[in-house]
């Protein structure tokens, strides 16, 4: 009986592990930067969130998170650049996400084959080399008609999780 329970618990753990957020290996070396800017946005593809309110929530959450890492947001030409996309439609192929984020061949970290609906993908790009030095994706369930403050809290939590592994050292 005890072995059956342990087997079921192990199987459940394996199944739950498969439900975790898709993610790429996290950069371990510190990023030397003092400023950041967002990559200029372009027309969003069909799979991406387009609403201005959501874009503002994500940008505010990223700005708050990076401020805690002593990075100052500048309008353009930051030491690092941040690109992101919120996948809202059918699973988006990683190639399509890379094209939208303009990562393409400059992706210095690995990525899953596709990103499902509810996934926030954040890239951090070295402004000097134009290489993606950090990518993380987190997935959340969509809440329809949620109040704005609840949405803001959920977006902040997702961004905080996505940027947890970003190690920033002050620029010398």
Query: What is the third-level CATH fold of 22-169?
Result: Double Stranded RNA Binding Domain (3.30.160)
Question: Which is more confident, 91 or 121?
Answer: 121
Instruction: Read off the pLDDT of residues 100-112 as tens digits, 9 standing for 90 and up.
Output: 777 654 554 455 6
DSSP sequence for 81-102 = EEEEEEE-SSPEEHHHHHHHHT
Fill in the DSSP letter of residue 106: G
pLDDT at 11 over 50: no
Residues 161/122, Cβ–Cβ less than 8 Å: no
pLDDT at 74: 95
Instruction: Read off the pLDDT of residues 129-171 as tens digits, 9 standing for 90 and up.
Output: 888 889 898 988 877 788 888 999 999 999 999 999 998 887 6
pLDDT at 7 over 60: no
Fill in the DSSP letter of residue 146: -
Q: How far apart are CA 9 and CA 54, in angstroms?
A: 39
Instruction: Give me the residue label for tokens 């290489």.
Output: 131
Domain boundaries, the chain: 22-169
Other residues' Cβ atoms within 10 Å of the Cβ of residue 43? 7
């Amino acid at each position: 009986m005890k072995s059956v329970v342990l087997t079921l618990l192990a199987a459940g753990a394996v199944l739950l592990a498969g439900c975790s957020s898709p993610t790429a290996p996290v950069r371990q070396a510190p990023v030397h930067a003092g400023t950041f800017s967002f990559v200029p946005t372009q027309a969003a593809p069909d799979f991406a969130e387009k609403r201005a309110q959501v874009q503002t929530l994500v940008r505010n959450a990223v700005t708050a998170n990076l401020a805690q890492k002593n990075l100052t947001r500048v309008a353009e030409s930051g030491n690092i650049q941040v690109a992101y996309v919120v996948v809202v439609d059918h699973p988006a192929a990683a190639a399509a996400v890379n094209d939208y984020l303009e990562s393409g061949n400059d992706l210095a970290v690995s990525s899953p084959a596709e990103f499902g609906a509810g996934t926030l993908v954040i890239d951090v790009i070295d402004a000097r080399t134009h290489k993606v030095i950090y990518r993380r994706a987190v997935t959340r369930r969509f809440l329809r008609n949620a109040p704005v403050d609840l949405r803001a809290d959920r977006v902040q939590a997702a961004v905080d999780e996505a940027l947890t592994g970003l190690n920033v050292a002050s620029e010398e």
